Structure formats: C-alpha cells, structure tokens
Structure 1
Amino acid sequence: MPTIREVLNKIRWTFPEGLNGIEVVIVHRGVPGDKKVIRGEEIKDVAPRAIICGDAVIPYHRVLCIRKGEEILWRRPQ
C-alpha cells in the first residue's frame, strides 16, 4: 500500500489540477465528530512526516482518508 505522502505527491505531480479538488479527512479533536476536512487548495507542502497547511502542521498519523468527490483515493486500514 502506498504511503500518504506517495499518494499526495502522485496527485500533486500527475493530476492536471494538482491537489485542487481533493479533500484530506483528518482526526481533529474538539470539532463535531472529531473529524476535519482539509481542502487540497489549503495544502502548502507535502513534507516527509506531515502535511503543511498555512501555519498548521498535520502529522500523517492523523490522516483518515484522501478523497476526490465521492472517490476514495487512499484510506487508513481498519
């Protein structure tokens, strides 16, 4: 199974629109359902250990899935 970073970099460099239009669902304590959606447009960098979004650093262990519309591109194994 490819890593989150490998999937994001593949999307970033091979999809014509790059990361635009994708959503990364993360664990985010304190919000309803403990889940938050990060839009691809918000992602500034795909670092070795985390996603960089503005001032936030989101470690990969918090990522639940990566989707484009209804299509799941990557999902954390159960």
Structure 2
Amino acid sequence: MKVVNVRQLLNKLRWHPDYDFNRVKIWYISRGKRGDIDFIIGSEIKSMGNIFIETENAMIPYHRIMKIEYNGNTIFEK
C-alpha cells in the first residue's frame, strides 16, 4: 500500500495547472465542533507549512486531515 503525503498532495492540487484549488474540500478533526469533524475549501487556506495548514481562523495539523475531495470525488481518506 502506498502512503500518501497529505502536504505533497495538497501542494500538487494548489500549484499544478491542471487543478483548481477552489474545488478542493478538506475534512479534518476539529476539537470542539459538533461531531469533531469540520471542513474547509481550498480558497480558505492562507498558507501550508511543514506541520499545519493556516486559515483565517485556525491552524490545522496535517495529521488531523481525514479526507480530501476534489470536484466532489474522494482522492484521499484515512
């Protein structure tokens, strides 16, 4: 089984000309949210560091990412 590096996958979706980052939906564990699951879309991401994604309201560690969808299709899931 091939191990997917979430950060590399998100960078590819963000920078490769074949993809529209606004079509990316990222589901993650969100402590304190009802059901502990939340999502963001690509346009909400301000930066992607080595350890976490930064949005306007949160810092999301990569290990909390549970699923990534592109254009409604799941392309990564833990």
TM-score range, shorter chain: 0.7 to 0.9
Whole-Å separation in 2 of the counterparts to 1:16 and 1:38:
17
Whole-Å separation in 1 of the counterparts to 2:36 and 2:71:
21
Give the count of matched residue pairs: 75
- Secondary structure of the equivalent of 2:50? coil
* 1:60–1:16 CA distance, 2 compared to 1 (3 A): closer
Moved >6 Å (runs of 4+): none
- Secondary structure of the equivalent of 2:76? strand
- Say yes or no: does 1:60 pair with 2:62: yes
Unmatched segments (≥5 aa) in structure 1: none
Task: Report the RMSD for the aligned CA atoms in angstroms.
Answer: 1.4
- Tell me which residue corresponds to 1:40: 42
Cα offset for 1:75? Answer: 1.3
Identity among equivalent positions (%) equals 32
- Secondary structure of the equivalent of 2:22? coil
Unmatched segments (≥5 aa) in structure 2: none
- Tell me which residue corresponds to 1:13: 15
TM-score scaled to structure 1, two decimals? 0.83
Whole-Å separation in 2 of the counterparts to 1:28 and 1:5:
18
Whole-Å separation in 2 of the counterparts to 1:21 and 1:41:
9
Letter in 1 for 2:73: E
Letter in 2 for 1:30: G
* 1:31–1:2 CA distance, 2 compared to 1 (3 A): same
Letter in 1 for 2:39: V
- Secondary structure of the equivalent of 1:2? coil
